[in-house]
Structure 1
Amino acid sequence: MLILHSKFHFLLIFLMFALILPTSGLAAISQEPGVIITSYSISPNVILPGEIGTIEVTIANTASQASKTASEISGTEPDSVSQSVTLPVNAFIESAILKTKDFQILSGWYEDIGEIGPGQSTTLTFLVQAPIKEGLYFPEVWIRVRGAESVKYPIPVNINTRHTLIKQPSIRLSRSTPTNIIPGSAFDIELGLTNEGLSGAHDLIIAIETPNTSLSSKSPERQFIQMLEPGQTKKINLSFQTDNDIPIGIRQIPVRISYMNADGTELEQRERIGIVIQGTADLGISKQTLDPEQIAEGDMFNLVCRIENTGTDKAKTVRATLDIPFEGTKEAFVGTIRPDNDAPAVFTLKATKSGDISYTMKIEYQDDFGIHEETIPLHIFAQEKNGTGIIIFILAVVLIIAGLLYWRKSYS
């Protein structure tokens, strides 16, 4: 009888708990968020031993809509109703590091990066210094996500080796340029494209980008090569035109090369063609003056010749020398004359003869192309000092007048 009473007491307690339970409940079915590495890039593609490069990885949420789904049950049996509620959940990245024993990590320790929402992605960059030994290395990216599994992803990095995961083309650009280019002149450049890779490249487009209006392309700015097999080289000839305003020095012509590899992936690389613009000096006489303006035989005077530079580069160590049948200083050192400028060459002379005197001035100067020499013909007029010519002229006029008077008197 005592045993029956205990069983009845237990059943009563069970029924009381069943009545106390709420008429609605929540059964949760959770789907925790996570991330994956969708892509990576290495710059440069092949890193030299001991050099610095970058490794970029792009991480994204695992689904277009990360969510938690909960089933809500309301009512009592047998009239209970079940419905689901979807709640968006972001992936919180706690840390991201590049795990390696071979590379030296210069920057790229990420802590508490934050949340990545559904369908979103972010890019992380690691600055590394390559090991001294050549080879193919696999540093790992470790990503820790709060409430989800961590991600470990190996990144293949090529340290100056031809062994790659997939055979790809490798285009090397060679250049043949003029030694010196003068402003205002045309010039030609020969480009050589060599495929040093392990597979062919097709549909190559070589785009020339002229940097300013002082340099223009006379050839089509887009060249096309249908196929470039491994070890094959093809030449492209380009023509350019400069104007007189192009700056002196080294100019860069950007070149963009795009091509397709064997699996149809489009690749692109950017190159530059360096050219040297060197101007030339061009000297001449712009003006000649005498002090005093009129000279006679035996006079001392100053001869001033202004030497102008109409070229595109400065003239250095300018020196002027006279070849004239006068006495005095016949050599003058001028120095440097910049483009579109002039400078005086001053000579102190004594006129030792009269008449229209022809002479020459030899100008020596130096520019980036070497030493040059110009000889310019000139002339000076010097009067006779004793005035004999004037006296003869006056006597001639007097004789003419006297003759006219005599003829008139005889006629009368």
Structure 2
Amino acid sequence: MKPACPEKYSCTGKKKCKLIGRMPADQRLINKISGDRSLVNKTSGDRRAVGKILGNQRTVDKTLRDRSSIDKKPKNQRKVDKIPENPRSMDKMPVNRKSANKTPIDKISASFLHFVLALLMITFFLTGPASAVVVSGNTHLGVDVSEINPNPARPGEDLLIKINIQNAGDEPAENVIVGIEEIHPFIFKYSTSELYGSGTNTERNFQIEQIRQRSKVELSFYLRVDPEAESGIYQLEFTIKDKSGTSFSKRIPVRVEGNPDLVLSGTEILPVNEDNSSSRAIVPGQEFYLRTSVKNAGSGNAKNVRVMLNLNNSSPLIPLEDNVHFFENLSAGSSENLSFKLLLGSNADVKPYRIPLRITASNNTETFQIDKIQEIGINVLNRAQIDISSLKFDPEIPVKGQQASLTLRLENVGEGEARSVKARLEGLEGSGSTSAFLGRLDKDDDAPAVFTFTPGKTGDQNVTLLVEYEDDFGEHQVSENLTFNVKRQEGSVIPIVLGAVLVLTTVILYTKKKGKL
């Protein structure tokens, strides 16, 4: 007499007890997986995997229902029962009850059940949630960010980052160590937590003795952003490990946005139609170029940059070209050259002037505006100019060996004052004074330069007149080539007449004396 199947198997007694007995263990495993469904559902990225698990469970339920139908004496089985028995053949055939009880459908269902269970386990353990949850035993540690202040971070300023270390598991996490990696441009200062009261931790590793199950601990990290940091997105890396062997890292993106700072540098004043030498001085009535560079000396990018002349109506400066330069973008550390062409009115007073340049721009997000004026100083000066207004020799034609004088009148025909005016003759063959000092010559003033000399040779004489003076622009020297003639010294008439008279007197006296004899 075979034992009847226990009631918990709901078996009809067709030798299926053993196979069905295996079902509760599998069902308990499936139920455990289903019980963990709440943990998996915490991550949106795992919802597809959860749906797949539910679909697989429905397949398992269907398999169980099919197995129950098999237990209810299938039609084929009833047909088999109707076949007449052959006692002799039946007696000779050995009976293997276990193999007889396993139909092909039973084998396929069992294999499929084990495959589904293995697939569910692999899917559950390999699917990692987006919040960096790591499972070790019954602890489920994860990290999320609760605050970044300020956001975006600013170069040269402090930064506060608050993170939560969560244990979503069923057991406490022991000796959890949270570390922060110091990555440019962030400089770690200290960390705090309510676990340690008002104290601070200056070490980059923070130890938490215990995080209870289904709870979290908040940590605050204080950092400083490098003042030279450029705008961009940087990563802060946290490492977490505990006593049970859990170890993982979490990268948190932090946006750093610096502010632009625009300055003008390398400014030059270049008069038009003159050499390329730079000067900060011009004269009334002169055209000139103002050339400069606008540089972004800040830590953030600038956009919609405008540099414009900000002249008022009373200014003697007149723009001759566009008075606005525009740059769509100017990244941190870069610069752009620009040039303005201007005219200084001829009636401008001789004094220093300021040329105001207005600079406007914003950062990329337009949360920071630049609107400032930078002034470029120029000096308006007057230039002196020395010319020879007259030249006179005395005698008009110098004679070799005889003293002569040369009088030159030097005139200042410029707009500025000429100081320390002096002149000299070079290349003169003879002796005498070849230099003269005139001193100061104001506008339209003149003064004589007198040279006294004795020519040493006859014929054409080539000499060079050098005039040196100073004005507002510095020292100057002008030269002029002069040519004059020196004649030969002629004989005197008086000695000849006297000689003739003496000869004639001698002859007369001699004749008279001879006649007396």
- Shorter-normalised TM range: 0.5 to 0.7
Residue pairs, 1:2-401, within 5 angstroms = 46=40, 48=44, 50-51=47-48, 101=56, 142=115, 155=121, 157=124, 168-169=139-140, 171-177=142-148, 178-210=150-182, 212-219=183-190, 220-230=203-213, 232-243=215-226, 246=229, 248-259=231-242, 265-292=244-271, 293=279, 294-324=281-311, 325=315, 326-328=317-319, 329-352=322-345, 353=348, 354-368=350-364, 369-384=367-382, 387-390=414-417, 397=440
Deviation at 1:187, TM superposition (A): 2.2
The number of equivalent residue pairs is: 269
CA displacement 1:304-327 (0-9 Å, x = unmatched): 121122223332221112234222
* CA deviation profile, 1:177-210 (whole Å, cap 9, x unmatched): 1312234544222223344444433322112223
Alignment deviations for residues 259-295 of structure 1 (CA, whole Å, 9 cap, x no partner): 35xxxx4434432222112232221111111221452
| Residue 363 (structure 1) shift | 0.8
| Letter of the structure 1 residue corresponding to residue 299 of structure 2 | T
Q: Residues 172 and 196 of structure 1 are in contact (CA less than 8 Å); yes or no, is this contact kept in structure 2? A: no
Greater helix share, structure number: 2
TM-score by length of 2: 0.43
Shift of 1:250: 1.6
Q: CA deviation at 1:355?
A: 1.8
> Counterpart of 2:416 in 1: which secondary structure?
helix
Identity %: 17
Q: Deviation digits for residues 60-106 of structure 1, max 9, x if unmatched?
A: xxxxxxxxxxxxxxxxxxxxxxxxxxxxxxxxxxxxxx9x83599xx
Residue 357 (structure 1) shift? 0.4
Once the two structures are TM-superposed, the CA of residue 153 in structure 1 deviates from its matched residue by: 9.3
2:407 aligned partner: none
Listed one character per residue, the Cα deviations across residues 119-157 of structure 1 (whole Å, up to 9, x for unaligned) are xxxxxxxxxxxxxxxxxxxx96559xxxxxxx9797383
Question: Under a length normalisation based on structure 1, what TM-score does the superposition of the two structures give?
Answer: 0.53
How far apart are the structure 1 equivalents of 2:446 and 2:318? 42
Distance in 1 (alpha carbons) for counterparts of 2:372 and 2:154:
20
Residue 177 of structure 2 aligns to a residue whose secondary structure is: strand
**Taking CA–CA contacts closer than 8 Å with sequence separation of 6 or more, which of the two structures ends up with the larger relative contact order?**
1
Equivalent residue letter for 1:267? T
Unaligned ranges ≥5, structure 2: 1-35, 60-111, 130-134, 191-202, 272-278, 384-412, 422-437, 448-517
- Check conservation: 2:229, 2:299, Cα contact below 8 A: no
- Paired letter, 1:379: G
Shift in Å, 1:228:
2.4
Q: Residue 371 and residue 101 in structure 1: after superposition, are their counterparts in 2 closer, same or farther (change >3 A)?
A: same
Matched to 1:344, the amino acid is N
Inter-CA distance 227–390: structure 2 relative to 1 (3 Å threshold): same
User: Is the 8 Å Cα contact of residues 167 and 213 (structure 2) preserved in structure 1?
Assistant: yes
